[in-house]
Structure 1
Amino acid sequence: MQSSSPPPFLRTLCSLRWLATAGQAVAILVASSVLQMQLPLLPLWAGVCALAMFNAIVQWHLPRRASEPTPATAFGHILVDITVLTWMVGFSGGIANPFGSLFVILIALAALALPRAWSLAVAAAAVLGYLTSALAGIELPASSLSPTQLQRWGSAINFLLSSVVVLLFATRLASSLRTREAELAALRERFTRNEGIVALATHAASVAHELNTPLATLTLLIDDLTEQAPNQEWHEDLTTAQLLLGQCRQRVHELAAPAQQHSARATITLEQVIWQWQLVRPTIDLHRNPTAPLQQHVEPAVAHLLMVLLNNAADASQQAGRQRIDLELELAGQHLHGQVRDYGPGFDPRQAALPGKLFNSSKSDGLGVGLALSHATIERLGGQLWMRPADGPGSSVSFTLPVNYQDAQ
């Protein structure tokens, strides 16, 4: 997954380059105005302007770049900095300029961010630049300070600048590394969970194949018993059993639906999802908002997500001796927003922070699969899922999902 933010290395180089440009401009002004040094101002200001223009162009292109630069590109950027620094040091005293040690900073940046071969190339270019400025540079002109005082003040300022540069770059690099480590840890967790889901799906397909025949036999038996029911009460119970068996058979057939790539994509309305859930949990009092888009079509994965959340809420409410849960559904543009609220004992935030683990259930008779599959569905569809304490007893789980199906006509 690519990030839309600019690459950290180039962004940091741009920040440091602006700092270098400002520092060079201030140094020229102080040396020529305060210290009364007769410096060649035209080539020095030309170097400052060239570096500022280059940095402005680079920063203008940064938002259009989402990936890290290649080592060759990063080497080219640092080579520009070495060239400008060679130019500036050469025209401001050469080897006598205390700021000549800034070449070491460029080598340190390359060593931290580039592969070994490219770091050696930067070091060679920096050494060459330092030798060029030392051999071909002009002598440091006289100033209002003695050479010893000038060297001391220059060394002190150079140390301060070097400390700021190293601290800034190292801090940003460490932050970038921590972010990447967190992303890699999340990817490893997701990969482990998805491996378990794939294994579970393979086993489920096998079990579904084995269950199809006994379910068909049970359906025929229930049909016969319904016709021979001795009274109305038996007839109603057997009719409910027929409906539940029909749902079981439908679920078994749906397991093979994703493999049928050329078949039309099956959808189900939210009203059908709620009806099927109430058929399975008739003792739970479900309160839903009157503006719920019940005729909205969703894919089976979304229906499964909603059923898992409803079942978890019902179990939590029953654990506290209550038989009520609340459901709110709203359609805003191309997104479905939902909230399922229970009246149970609440939740432990430490457990809520681990919702994607497979086969990890807080219920004694739970399989630990529902929430893991729910999070996999949320991630696949590009939605969001979060949990928070409710206003009063219990907790609420909210989600938002993109929907691409039109309302039923």
Structure 2
Amino acid sequence: MPAPPTFLRTLCNLRWVAIIGQTISVLVAVHVMGLPLRQAPLWAGIAVLAAFNLFAGWQSRRLQGDRPGWAFAHMLVDVAVLAWLVGCSGGISNPFGSMFLLIIAVAALALPIGWVMATAAACLLGYGLSAAYGIPLPHAHGNGFNLHLWGMAVNFVLSAAVVLYFSTRLVAALRQRERELAMLRERFARNEGIVALATHAAAVAHELNTPLATMTLLVDDIAELSDSAQVRGDAITLRGLIDVCRDRVRGLASSADPGTEPAVDPQQVIDRWQLIRPTVQLQRAIALPSQLRVQPAVGHLLQALLNNAADASLESASRQVDVALAVEERWLLGEVRDYGAGFSESLPYQPDALFRSSKPDGMGVGLALSNATVERMGGHMQMQSAASGGTRVLFRLPLLAASGQLA
């Protein structure tokens, strides 16, 4: 989504509208209505404002963000030129003198209260000077008051248009801010749940060290003492699974310090997952450089998505899961597809929701943790329905962030 224009750029756009309107007003007043105006001072004021707006447009592209001081300085130029033009075209009798109120309204919608008060003071001073030292127009017999009324009508239309433009922008900005705050609150609640879950997981990992060590000794004894080849084979497989569990438990402690956990090979992560879920028919489409290594968090992301996909497929009496990984320019692209029932109407896709699952025995943390991992690395994850049934989970990660390198 493109960034919204800054207040200085908005002022530049409005100033061009004002310059065009002032030009048309002078031409109509002089050549259509035949008013005896001194054209040289008016055209000089319009030319100065146009030259300043060229500089203001160049400056607004160089400045990062809005600066109230600069905005106030720009509006001082607008006040000075407006006072000059009003003073040279009738002074206090000019119906466009109320345009000073429009400058105050624009400042009130975008600037802090201190700068608004300063702008109001400048407008009062400009209006006073134009009234005190303005050049009065010769008395126009017959329709002078009607001319003033027409000027007031045009002034009202212009003021209403500018105030409407700024008020709608302000309402849109407030609504966008509310949506962002709601999203931040949801993410904060999710992150609080993740922190609580991580604390509990660390405690459980500490408690699991002893039983895992005991299981390792027992499995080794069974493999050594058993006379059955099948039992020995099962014991070897069980020993491999225990080693995976032990490594994962130890990884919980080392993951707190990113420098202590080495990068992993995505292909080995998938191979290890296949060892844990041997009954799943995994279809791979992996096109990665052989030397590519990724952060352990990416490995956890792959395992979480594969586990979710395997569970969804098994619920629909299917054992197939598809995984695809590729590198495109500076992005790591991934896709995991299941052959399950697809989206649940009673529980729509909510990647930020913790402990909410459509599976009877699900914990409701897989997608939330996966989405948090992708967001932390500056990537994006989305969920789509597959054409022939099932669900596709796609993610994009910046390659430098995924590999743990600095941009």
Q: If the length of structure 2 is used for normalisation, what is the TM-score?
A: 0.92
- The alpha-carbon deviation at position 7 of structure 1 amounts to 5.1
2:381 matched to 1:354? no
Residue 225 of structure 1 and its aligned partner are, at CA, apart by 1.0
Alignment partner for residue 328 of structure 1, among 320, 324, 327? 324
**2:189 pairs with 1:199:** no
* Distance in 2 separating the partners of 1:338 and 1:180: 32
Provide the rounded CA distance (Å) in 2 between the counterparts of 1:145 and 1:376.
75
Kindly state the Cα deviation for residue 140 of structure 1 after the two structures are TM-superposed: 2.3
1:6-405 correspondence to structure 2 within 5 Å: 8-70=6-68, 72-141=69-138, 146-260=143-257, 263=260, 265-289=261-285, 291=287, 296-348=292-344, 351-404=347-400, 405=403
Deviations 1:222-262 (A, max 9, x none): 11111122312211211111111101110111112134465
> Contact (CA 8 Å) 1:289, 1:329: kept in 2 or not?
yes
**Shift of residue 353 of structure 1?**
4.5
* Distance in structure 1 (CA, Å) of the matches to 2:360 and 2:379: 29
Separation in structure 1 between the aligned mates of residue 114 and residue 361 of structure 2, nearest angstrom: 58
Matches of 2:48 and 2:344, distance apart in 1 = 59
CA distance in 2, matches of 1:380, 1:221: 41
The total of aligned residue pairs comes to: 402
The answer to whether the 8 A contact 1:7-1:68 is kept is no
Conserved in 2, the CA contact under 8 Å of 1:293 and 1:329?
no
Q: Is the 8 A contact 1:330 1:336 kept in 2?
A: yes
Q: Secondary structure of 1:268's partner? A: coil
Tell me the C-alpha RMSD between the 2 structures. 2.2
CA distance in 2, matches of 1:356, 1:239: 39
Q: Distance in 2 between matches of 1:387 and 1:369?
A: 16
Out of 87-96 and 8-17, give the one that drifted further: 8-17
1:40 CA drift (Å): 1.9
* Rounded Cα–Cα distance in structure 2 between residues aligned with 1:64 and 1:360: 47
Q: 1:62 offset after TM fit, Å? A: 2.4
CA contact (8 A) 2:6 2:65 kept: no
Residue aligned with 2:336, SS: strand
State the distance in 2 between where 1:182 and 1:111 align.
Answer: 24
For residue 387 of structure 1, give the secondary structure of its aligned residue in structure 2: strand
Deviation per residue, 1:170-218 (Å, 9 max, x gap):
1122222222222222222222211221222222222212211221121
Within 2, Cα distance between the matches of 1:371 and 1:150? 69
Alpha-carbon distance in 1 for matches of 2:345, 2:143: 67
Pair 286,142 (structure 1): closer, same or farther in 2 beyond 3 Å: farther
Per-residue CA distance 1:91-110 (angstroms, 9 max, x = gap): 11111111111111111122
Q: Structure 2: which 5+ runs fail to align?
A: none
Q: Distance in 1 between matches of 2:32 and 2:270?
A: 81
Contact kept? 1:94, 1:100, Cα under 8 Å? yes
What's the offset of the Cα at 1:356? 1.1
The AA in structure 2 aligned to 1:231 is: S
- Partner Cα separation in structure 2 for residue 368 and residue 215 of structure 1: 26
C-alpha contact (below 8 Å) 1:270/1:293 kept by paired residues: no
**Long gaps (5+) in structure 1:** none
Aligned residues of 2:223 and 2:236 also touching (Cα < 8 A):
yes
Deviation at 1:76, TM superposition (A): 2.2
| Structure 1 pair 59–89 and aligned structure 2 pair: CA distance change class (3 A) | same
Judge which range, 218-227 or 192-201, deviates more.
192-201
Aligned equivalents of 1:10, 1:331: Cα separation in 2: 41
CA distance in 2, matches of 1:244, 1:276: 9
* Cα offset, 1:343, TM superposition: 1.2
> Structure 1's 30 and 99: CA in aligned 2 closer, same or farther, altered over 3 A?
same
Q: Distance in 1 between matches of 2:117 and 2:95?
A: 24
